[in-house]
Structure 1
Amino acid sequence: MIRFNRALRPFSVMSFDLDDTLYNNHPIIKAAVKAQQDYLSALPSYLEQGPKYWQQCRNEAVLQSPELADNVTKWRQHTLRLALSKLNLNADDIEHHANAAYNAFADARSKIVVSDDVLKLLDNLAQHFTLVAITNGNVEIERFNLHNKFSLVLQAGMHGKAKPHKTLFDKAAAYFDIPKSEILHIGDSLDTDVQGANNAGCQSVWLNDQGATYAYKGLADVEIANIHTLAHFIK
């Protein structure tokens, strides 16, 4: 299925969201959260705090430092140190356990295998367009099989404010010295991907395959139900 809500203008760059656009991130993030929780639960003083302790500390962390909302890596690392600091551990133990718990999360977070058919699609698109990744997530792309597929990778926090803010799109356009209208952004979220691209003056493709409810009521330029529909744009 492909639906054009607006006629596309010529574009030279295709930018991709990563999580839940090029692979199913749900089991990956679930496993990563479990790996972190398993590590922390081995600490008796942490386990005693109860099942809501992590979320309480996470909420507290972003209230203390609202800028963490744009950097999920720092938000998690800050929350780990905050949660452990409340357990009467010494400074060395706090640092050790915070790093070890985060590494448990990051190792599981990177156990992604993008399917061969998606890799082939990207290779085919790359013969006609410059490919870029623009993500709000904290996946370490160099640790799995998307590591050599993009000319530029921009991550929220590290390179600018999270989508739907337009910063990452601005940076992509400046990097390639092109008008933002020449970027066609593809993503699964209306709230972050489509709204962000629209805010920035880029063109947008909504991959509508999550069955989620979104707050944003604007339209993508194009709506698709399967990532392989992008082959339509290969001349």
Structure 2
Amino acid sequence: MRFNRAITPVKVLSFDLDDTLYDNHPIIKAALQAQFDHLASIPQWQAKGPNYWRECRNRVGETQPELQSDVTKWRQVALRYGFAQLGFSERQAQEYANAAYKAFADARSNIVVSDDVLELLAQLREKYTLIAITNGNVEVDKFNLKGEFDLVLQAGPHGEAKPSRALFDKACALLEVNPSDILHIGDSLDTDVQGANNAGCYSIWLDNQNCIYSYKGLADIEITDIMQLALLTK
């Protein structure tokens, strides 16, 4: 654990979810495959070829850019658009889109967080309020993070995606704390660290992805393994 700046005592630990508390890459891969397998069972969609989904998603993203901060709604609208373009009625397009999204969402929540991480959260909960602030669309109530957080905020339904300060501001309002009472932990400099810094919260960067980021600011603390957070219980 490396400190780039001194921090004052905090009351709340805020966690990003994907690629912070679990490896999200195989989960997303499986969820996309589940969606593609479902769509391949529909002859009209299958006939459009392998790039049709991407074309629909990109088209909706271009015409409705506000959806890009709500990945769930973006996917749902793109699926509905795709079926409408195939000539399905509005009702049919919605029904087919719902079924395709369900295939994705069910696989998306097929997550098992390690016992070590769950034990870490239990230790941290003895000293801090634990919350989650995520840009993703995972539903924590569907896997073994259920009940681990006092508050879960998702980009889209609850506010603009990180690095906007919106979700952090909402957390402060709901918990009745100051920004400096929150320490946010995440794997992305561009979204997690920048977002927390924008909001006046403290930040911990989990540097374990070997990614290149555009944000040049510093996290208050840097770690390379989530288990290093056990030091916060001392």
Structure 1 residues 55-74: aligned runs within 5 Å: 55-74=54-73
Structure 1 residues 107-118: aligned runs within 5 Å: 107-118=106-117
Amino acid in structure 1 at the alignment position of 2:6: A
**Match of residue 139 from structure 2:** 140
Amino acid in structure 2 at the alignment position of 1:55: R
What secondary structure, in the 3-state scheme, does the structure 2 residue paired with 1:95 have? Answer: helix
1:66-99 per-residue CA deviation (whole Å, 9 max, x = no partner) reads: 2101111100000000111111123332122111
Structure 1 residues 104-183: aligned runs within 5 Å: 104-183=103-182
Question: Can you give the 5+ residue segments of structure 1 that lack an aligned partner in the other structure?
Answer: none
Amino acid in structure 1 at the alignment position of 2:71: V
Q: CA deviation at 1:5?
A: 0.8
Structure 1 residues 1-235: aligned runs within 5 Å: 2-235=1-234
Query: 2: distance between equivalents of 1:176 and 1:217?
Result: 30
Identity %: 60
Higher mean C-alpha deviation, range 61-70 or range 96-105:
61-70
Query: 2: distance between equivalents of 1:51 and 1:8?
Result: 50
Query: 2: distance between equivalents of 1:66 and 1:177?
Result: 32
Query: 2: distance between equivalents of 1:126 and 1:34?
Result: 36
What secondary structure, in the 3-state scheme, does the structure 2 residue paired with 1:163 have? Answer: coil
Question: Can you give the 5+ residue segments of structure 2 that lack an aligned partner in the other structure?
Answer: none
Query: 2: distance between equivalents of 1:189 and 1:110?
Result: 21
Query: 1: distance between equivalents of 2:39 and 2:232?
Result: 47
Q: CA deviation at 1:44?
A: 1.9
Query: 2: distance between equivalents of 1:197 and 1:47?
Result: 43
Q: TM-score, normalised by structure 2?
A: 0.98
Query: 1: distance between equivalents of 2:161 and 2:121?
Result: 24
Q: CA deviation at 1:177?
A: 1.2
Amino acid in structure 2 at the alignment position of 1:150: F
Q: CA deviation at 1:50?
A: 2.1
Query: 2: distance between equivalents of 1:52 and 1:217?
Result: 35
Measured on the aligned residues, the alpha-carbon RMSD in Å equals 0.9
What secondary structure, in the 3-state scheme, does the structure 1 residue paired with 2:130 have? Answer: strand
Query: 1: distance between equivalents of 2:156 and 2:91?
Result: 27
Amino acid in structure 2 at the alignment position of 1:99: N
Query: 1: distance between equivalents of 2:178 and 2:109?
Result: 33
1:21-53 per-residue CA deviation (whole Å, 9 max, x = no partner) reads: 000111111100110111111122212222222
Q: CA deviation at 1:174?
A: 1.1
Amino acid in structure 1 at the alignment position of 2:62: L
Amino acid in structure 2 at the alignment position of 1:169: F
Query: 1: distance between equivalents of 2:69 and 2:140?
Result: 18
Q: TM-score, normalised by structure 1?
A: 0.97
User: How many residues are paired up?
Assistant: 234
